[in-house]
């Protein structure tokens, strides 16, 4: 069995988490903005529980300029200063990683891209698969037979894993290395890499698809015409500089061994202290639970527990889901405030009563609870319904598929009623799951995820 190594691009994920909450930041009682920390921890937990890496490390950009600034002083010069809230968050994130026993990797003079690129090439082989977790397109150039890009989930979609085939198809090339020349031609506005004026992503991909390399473009310059030819000819020096700037180094002097990356059991006592300081009460309950007094549990036990079929929310901070609902969703639960009516529906009599309630209402909110996020593989565990505030029902479905289909047939008339409005979050997922069990929805639909995107894209 191959090692499964994950390298996380820290700042890419930290900024992503921070801006996910920019309209509604999380601030604790001390006035500390904890958005970036909260989002990063959620992402880390999702990777640990969903992907079960055997090895893991997190790379940070070190403070100060790097070698790219030395060759091009305008490199990243257009970027705004890092928000103060992120500067305050980073030390906490490093403390949390220390409590997780996950190494923080930082090499002065080099960016996280270069460190991860070096480690990916160092450890990606027949015995180890490397997953580089980042939304940064530049990493595509590093993809190889045992090296993959792992793009975080977004906009309701699951995380995206890019291998050689996916990168080649995306950029219409025959080797991920050619991504370097495409980005060089295209330029990178976020890093202030100039590229060639007038050449965008599609044109750059088309040129490299046709000529293979930047060198070959200049050898066949007469095959270009008009303004495009003029721009490529007049910006040759700038283009080659851009190629150097976007090339991720794979020879960074980083001293780390495979055994240094082995996933270990977290120090729950340390995590408990940090979460208390940050006032992460929900995270503390979900991640630590009773583990503070059980430090001898090993990672294998944790992995076995997390890999068991657990109902999952379909939409987390980055749209991909993966956060576990409270353990044992088939058991009892506590009400968080008064005047709530939450009912577990299991018996034929309870199902009949639920149907009578749903039939009387024209607007029904519902959500499926499943064993995973892949609509083709996940199994249905239950369905939540609500027709008014502070009242909800959870339909517990049988363990075997045939019995589940039998129960669901009773609800087909609800979902088939064109006069009813079905409300949900990421309804595309729920519709796909129900279709797997022979239930189609012909009612009117209102998707809160789409509504939110339209209001705050």
Is 304 a domain residue? no
**Are 55 and 137 in the same domain?**
yes
**Are 62 and 135 in the same domain?**
yes
pLDDT tens digits, one per residue of 322-370:
333 344 444 444 555 567 888 999 888 889 999 999 999 999 999 999 8
Q: Which of 134-138, 155-159, 398-402 has the lowest mean pLDDT?
A: 155-159
**Are 143 and 18 in the same domain?**
yes
Which residues span the domain enclosing 427?
341-455
- pTM tops 0.85, yes or no: no
**Are 154 and 187 in the same domain?**
no
Mean pLDDT of the chain: 86
**Are 160 and 184 in the same domain?**
no
**Are 192 and 149 in the same domain?**
no
- Is 75 in contact with 31 (CB distance < 8 Å)? no
**Scanning the structure block, which residue is given the tokens 């977790």?**
133
- How many Cα atoms occupy the beta-carbon half-sphere of 46 within 13 Å? 28
Among candidates 386, 385, 387, 373, which has minimal Cα distance to 433?
373
**Are 253 and 347 in the same domain?**
no
Domain boundary among 214, 246, 278: 246
Is 202 a domain residue? yes
Does the pLDDT of residue 270 top 70, yes or no? Answer: yes
Q: Going edge to edge, which strands form the sheet with 380-388?
A: 341-345, 391-396, 380-388, 363-370, 421-424, 444-447
Domain boundary among 198, 213, 246: 246
Does the pLDDT of residue 65 top 60, yes or no? Answer: yes
Backbone dihedral angles phi then psi of residue 398, each to the nearest 5 degrees: -65, 165
Is 282 a domain residue? no
Q: Per-residue confidence at 178, pLDDT binned at 50, 70, 90?
A: very high
**Are 88 and 148 in the same domain?**
yes
Is 90 a domain residue? yes
Is 291 a domain residue? no
The number of domains in the chain is: 3
Is 267 a domain residue? no
How many Cβ atoms sit within 10 Å of the Cβ of residue 221?
A: 13
**Are 352 and 383 in the same domain?**
yes
Which CATH number do you get for residue 234?
A: 1.10.150.20
pLDDT tens digits, one per residue of 420-429:
999 999 999 9
pLDDT tens digits, one per residue of 184-224:
999 888 888 888 998 888 899 999 999 999 999 999 999 99
**Are 79 and 155 in the same domain?**
yes
Enumerate the β-bridge partners of residue 341: 391
**Are 9 and 149 in the same domain?**
yes
Give the integer Cα–Cα distance in Å for 451 and 202: 31
Backbone dihedral angles phi then psi of residue 48, each to the nearest 5 degrees: -65, -40
Is 75 a domain residue? yes
């Amino acid at each position: 069995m191959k090692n499964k190594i994950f390298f996380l691009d820290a700042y890419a994920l930290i900024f992503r988490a921070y801006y996910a909450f920019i309209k509604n930041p999380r601030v604790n009682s001390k006035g500390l903005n904890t958005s970036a920390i909260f989002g990063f921890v959620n992402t880390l937990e999702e990777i640990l529980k969903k992907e079960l890496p055997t090895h893991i490390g997190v790379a940070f950009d070190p403070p100060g300029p790097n070698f790219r600034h030395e060759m091009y002083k305008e490199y990243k010069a257009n970027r705004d200063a890092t928000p103060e809230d992120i500067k305050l968050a980073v030390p906490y994130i490093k403390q949390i990683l220390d409590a997780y026993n996950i190494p923080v990797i930082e090499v002065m003079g080099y960016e996280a891209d270069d460190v991860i690129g070096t480690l990916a090439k160092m450890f990606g082989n027949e015995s180890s698969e490397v997953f580089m977790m980042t939304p940064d397109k530049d990493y595509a150039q590093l993809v190889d037979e045992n090296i993959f890009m792992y793009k975080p989930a977004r906009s309701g979609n699951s995380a995206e894993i890019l291998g050689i085939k996916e990168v080649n198809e995306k950029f219409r090339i025959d080797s991920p290395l050619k991504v370097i020349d495409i980005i060089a031609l295209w330029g990178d506005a976020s890093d202030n890499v100039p590229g060639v004026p007038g050449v965008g992503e599609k044109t750059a991909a088309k040129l490299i698809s046709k000529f293979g390399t930047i060198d070959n473009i200049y050898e066949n310059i007469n095959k270009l015409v008009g303004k495009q030819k003029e721009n490529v000819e007049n910006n040759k020096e700038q283009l080659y500089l851009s190629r150097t700037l976007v090339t991720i180094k794979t020879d960074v002097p980083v001293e780390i061994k495979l055994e240094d990356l082995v996933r270990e059991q977290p120090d729950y006592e340390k995590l408990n202290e940090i979460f208390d300081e940050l006032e992460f009460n929900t995270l503390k309950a979900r991640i630590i639970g009773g583990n503070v007094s059980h430090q001898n549990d090993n990672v294998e036990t944790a992995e076995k527990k997390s890999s068991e079929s657990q109902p999952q929310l379909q939409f987390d901070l980055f749209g991909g889901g993966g956060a576990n609902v409270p353990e044992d969703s088939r058991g009892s639960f506590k009400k968080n405030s008064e005047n709530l009516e939450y009912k577990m529906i299991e018996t034929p009599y309870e199902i009949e009563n639920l149907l009578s309630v749903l039939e009387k209402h024209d607007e029904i909110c519902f959500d499926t609870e499943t064993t995973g996020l892949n609509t083709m593989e996940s199994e249905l565990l239950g369905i939540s319904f609500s027709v008014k505030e502070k009242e909800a029902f959870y339909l517990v479905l049988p363990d075997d598929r045939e019995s589940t289909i039998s129960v669901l047939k009773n609800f087909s008339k609800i979902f088939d009623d064109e006069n009813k409005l079905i409300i949900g979050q990421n309804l595309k997922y729920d519709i796909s799951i129900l279709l797997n069990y022979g239930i189609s929805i012909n009612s009117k639909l209102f998707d809160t995820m789409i509504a939110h995107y339209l209001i705050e894209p």
